[in-house]
Amino acid sequence: MEDTCWKKDETPYMIFACKKCDGYLYVKPTQKTKKCLRCGRTHQVKNIETVEMVRGMTEAVNRVKQLQNDLSLKKMGGTPNFCSQNDFKIPCPSFELVNIEQDLKPSKEETLMDNDYSKDFSKLLHKISKTYNKFPEQLIAMLAGEFSIPIDQISFLKNLFLKENYLIKIKNGYFKIISFPK
Ligand SMILES: [Zn+2]
């Protein structure tokens, strides 16, 4: 394994909304199709109505999260500002909103085998390990689509793999792969 230097990602990404489930997605303009990870619908990239163009995977992931959050708030009835200032609460958090930003920690009972995506995640790490011996978290997000792992599962899977010591955190927010699940 070579210690490859991580370059700033300037790849353009198109942000668009899924026609079937309204979820936001991102795709490289060079891709032909993009499958929605929420509902499974395949989109032809040439027919996409782009909401926004951004540069770099990190930017694309963040923008999708942001739009998705805005959408969840809208679904809950516009600006959640109908309570008095004193007892202001976000009314009934929709599951989408909860899933997105929270850094989900696996519970004690949960093991790798219980997670539908752990095999795919392991394959993803295998791929990374062929090129990089240490890598930033964004690289996982960048490859997630290729392995059909939903973006909102990444942080959960990462923590699961950290917990089981397949992955360790090193300096500057980088990660290192120690071993793979059998
Ligand atoms: Zn969809």
Considering the domain architecture, whether residues 80 and 116 belong to the same structural domain is answered as: no
Supply the pLDDT for residue 105: 53
**What is the 84 CA–ligand 1 centroid distance (Å)?**
36
pLDDT at 167: 92
| pLDDT for residue 17 | 95
Sequence-distant (≥ 6) Cβ neighbours of residue 110 within 8 angstroms: 160
119/91 same-domain check? no
Cα–Cα dist 16/98, whole Å:
22
What is the model's pLDDT at position 12?
93
pLDDT of residue 7: 66
Q: Given this model, what pLDDT does residue 112 score?
A: 57
Rounded to the nearest angstrom, the distance between the alpha carbon of 17 and the centre of ligand 1 is 8
Q: Could you tell me the strand order of the sheet in which 52-55 lies?
A: 24-27, 12-17, 52-55
Residues 10 and 91 in one domain: yes
Q: How many domains does the chain have?
A: 2
| Domain interval for residue 165 | 103-182
Cut 0.85: pTM above it: no
| Same domain as 98, residue 23 | yes
**20 Cα to the center of ligand 1, angstroms:** 5
For residues 18 and 96, membership in a common domain is answered with yes
pLDDT of residue 113: 58
List the shell of residues around ion ligand 1, using CB closer than 5 Å.
18, 20-21, 23, 36, 38-39, 41
State whether 112 and 43 are in the same domain: no
Cβ contact 141:173 at 8 Å: no
Claim to verify: residue 116 and residue 77 sit in the same structural domain? no
CA 40 to ligand 1 centroid distance, Å: 6
pLDDT for the residue 141: 85
Per-residue pLDDT of the chain (182 residues; tens, 9 = 90+): 455 555 678 899 999 999 999 899 999 999 999 999 889 999 999 999 999 999 999 999 999 999 998 888 887 765 554 444 444 444 444 444 444 444 445 555 555 556 678 888 999 999 999 888 889 888 888 888 888 888 888 888 898 899 888 999 988 888 999 888 87
Ligand 1 center–CA 24 separation, angstroms: 8
